Each structure stands twice: as structure tokens, then as C-alpha cells.
Amino acid sequence: MKTIVALVDFSDASSKVLKYAHTLASALGSQVILLHIVPPEIPVAIYGTEVPPVPIDPTPARVQANQAKLDELLHSLTQQGVGAMSLQLKGPVAETVHTEVSRLNADLVIMGSHHHSALYNLFIGSMTADVLTRASFPVLVVPCDIPKEEPQ
């Protein structure tokens, strides 16, 4: 296994994804590519205003701020002796992931999964499900916010 793509979104999931990427890359001598996709901004309707009909490109300030966060994650991996590089792209997340993973000829993709409710997934959707539905590559899904069990 030569290339591991670790999808990061700067949530709490990213630290767990990085932990798995570090462990596997160290054990297998693989290179890690940290991949972050900056999605288009979804317009929000405010009463009395007009809503643009299509998503808006992210602002340069947002792209730059995300790049700084990505550079920090990259630095944390390389300091631990893992061969790594980072890549930030703009676009629809699931489609961009599939295109880029194919282009990179990745051997494994590691991504986090947030445990949202069925209602959230119905209205907003699940990025993990979108990626898995179309995946033609191996994917390791790291559960990131497992609900705590109620004491009995």
C-alpha cells in the first residue's frame, strides 16, 4: 500500500482520521495525502432578500484560512516521521473526492463519519454515504462521535 488519502474537514473527526492515517502509514511505509475539499457556500434565505439560485464559490479568505489549518495538520504528521503532502481543492465534496482519488491512484481512503440523525441525513445528506455509494476504492470509515451509552 503506497498511497493513503486522508479526508479532513477540520472537525473533531480530523484528529481521529489523522491518527489512523499515521498508524497505517507508519506500519506500511505509505505516503499520506491530506485532502480537504472546500465546498461551495450554500445561500441562506433571509426574509425579504433574494437568494442566489446557485451555490457561491468560497471566499478567498475562507480558502486561505482552510489552507492554514491544512498546513498545521500536515506539519503534525511530518513531525512524526510520516511522508505526507496536502491538497486543497474547491468543489462539490463527494464528486471532487472521487475524481481526485482516482487521479491520485490511492490505495486507501480514510474518512470520518459523524453520527447525525436520520432527519439530518434526509434534509442535509451524508457525505460519508455519498462517497461510499460511488466508491471504486477501499475506504476506511472512522466513527468520530459515537453517542455515549446511558447508564443502566
Q: Please state the rounded mean pLDDT for residues 95-106.
A: 91
Q: How many domains does the chain have?
A: 1
Whether the per-residue pLDDT at 114 is higher than 70: the answer is: no
Contact 112/145 with Cβ under 8 angstroms? no
What tens digit of pLDDT does each residue of 120-136 get? Answer: 444 444 567 777 777 78
Give domain status of residue 56, yes or no.
Answer: no
Q: Which of 20, 23, 18 shows the shortest CA–CA distance to 34?
A: 18
What tens digit of pLDDT does each residue of 72-83 get? Answer: 999 999 999 999
Looking at residue 51, its pLDDT comes to 59
pTM: 0.79
Q: Please state the rounded mean pLDDT for residues 140-150.
A: 68
Give domain status of residue 111, yes or no.
Answer: yes
Give domain status of residue 41, yes or no.
Answer: no
Cα→Cα distances 85→23, 30, 35, 128, 135, Å = 16, 12, 9, 23, 22
Structural domain boundaries, residue 113: 3-30+61-141
The Cβ-side half-sphere exposure at 31, using a 13 Å CA radius, reads 10
> Within its chain, how far is the Cα of 41 from the centroid?
16
Give domain status of residue 87, yes or no.
Answer: yes
Tell me whether residue 30 is exposed, middle or buried, using C-beta atoms within 10 angstroms of its C-beta: 0 to 12, 13 to 18, 19 or more. buried
Neighbours of 9 (CB within 10 A): 19
Cell of 146: 459515537
Q: What is the CATH number of the domain that holds 19?
A: 3.40.50.620
